[in-house]
Amino acid sequence: MSDFGFLNTHRTWEDWCGMLLGALIVASPWFPIQDRSGIVGHEMMVVNTVAIGLVIFGLSQLEYVALQRWQEVATILVGLWLIVSPLVLGYSGEGFLRIYHTSLGAVAVILGVLQLWQDWDLSDQDMLKHGQ
């Protein structure tokens, strides 16, 4: 029988994955295999995506240094915003970019939910020991 005990503890590699995810989100408007010519409001989409990526990157860095539950909740909310951004900002019919942002947002939400679940029962003192 396999042991899923490793999912019960918030590990520092999860924070590194969050930082990598933030960097991927920042770079996503410039991924190849997409047609940028038909996107109305391209600049707004780029600013939104870069801001979301930087927020996720920054939250992951904060989790690595000083773990707090609000950081995981913020990661979930920002990931949900990235999922609905194509609909709200009007580029939902743009194929790959919509798929990139929906997928990367879903990964951010899953990572945030996993970390929140892992840290739910920890005391403030236990959370301060994260990464040591």
Q: pLDDT tens digit string along 56-96?
A: 999 988 888 877 778 889 999 999 999 999 888 887 776 78
The verdict on residue 64 lying in a domain is yes
The answer to whether residue 10 sits within a structural domain is no
pTM for the full model?
A: 0.81
pLDDT band at 2 (very low <50, low <70, confident <90, very high): very low
pLDDT-derived band at 8, boundaries 50, 70, 90:
low
Counting the structural domains of the chain, the total is 1
Domain assignment of residue 9, yes or no:
no
Query: Which one has a higher pLDDT value, 4 or 59?
Result: 59
Which structural domain range is residue 21 located in?
Answer: 16-31+39-128
Query: So what's the pLDDT on residue 1?
Result: 41
Cβ neighbors of 19 (< 8 A, separation 6 or more) are 57, 60, 61, 64
5 in any annotated domain: no
Residue 118 lies in a domain: yes
The sign of the CA dihedral 49, 18, 79, 106 is positive
Give the list of residues 6+ apart from residue 52 with CB closer than 8 angstroms, or none: 25, 78, 81, 82, 85
